[in-house]
Amino acid sequence: MTLRQQQALHVGIAGLGAVGLPVARWLDDRANNHGLKLAAVSARNLEMAEKKVAGFKKVPPVVEINQLIEVSDIVVEGLPPEIFEELAEPTIAQGKILIVMTLTSLMKRLDLIDKAKETGAIVIAASGALVGFDGVRAASKGKIDSVLMKTRKPPLGLKKAPFVLEMGIDMNSLTEPLLLYKGTVREAAAKFPANVNVAVALALAGVGLDNTEYEIWADPGVSRNLHNITVEADAVSLNLDIANVPSEVNPATGKLTPLSAIATLERLVAPFTVGT
């Protein structure tokens, strides 16, 4: 039986921040109209989560993470890194579909992908704020010589990054672009865990965490999260420019990110999809 032949798939939303809440609202607005049903939501602060969903057309149950997993066929992850494993491990152990948005957290637990092979679970790394993953994935089936990604963000979106705090960099006083980091994606993830999920996704789609080069700039002259990706391969040369509008809820997250999660959900039940 295919996913589309089943009754509506039950979707659980873990985290109601800049990603999870828009996805939950989308599911609520389109209830019983697309093979997907909002089963429940969860968050670190359940009382606050109840307030956020109070105005929904059909208010979903607000439950603990373990209960969310039990009632869901698909779990959309949008949690703080410190509680990622609390969600991911049992979701995969129970053979569910896990849509991961916090790729820096998954990066630390790639063993969970091997576990998914044993349990029948499916782990989907959503595209988030980037485009072009279909081309990168296809190119990786041949030979990729190099992948370089450069990110420029307004300083406000980088103020809370561990590296910025440790170095005591005053983001409010910047008057010109400042290169904060240049190196591999693996090292960048530890320094900017909330800012490089897109770079981790790119690395996992292509040549890996240690072979994907990354730069991140704080730039007071930009109002959007800018990304440039250059790929050199035997089958293609790619040069992609992306200019994402930051979320009002969390400037470190682009508005495209929750839309990416929505598109991922739609793809699971759609009779026709485009792209690799």
DSSP H helices, 102-171, are 103-107, 111-119, 133-139, 162-167
**157, 227, 256, 262: which one is catalytic?**
227
Contact 200/210 with Cβ under 8 angstroms?
Answer: no
Q: Nearest 5°: CA angle at 46, between 127 and 71? A: 65
Number of Cβ atoms within 10 Å of the Cβ of 258: 27
DSSP 179: E
Residue 10 designated active-site? no
d(CA 98, CA 117): 13
Contact 205/139 with Cβ under 8 angstroms?
Answer: no
d(CA 69, CA 88): 9
Locus of tokens 């990786």? 140
Strand-pair partners of 152: 217, 226
Compute the residue count for the chain: 276
d(CA 276, CA 262): 17
- Which residues are catalytic, by number? 227
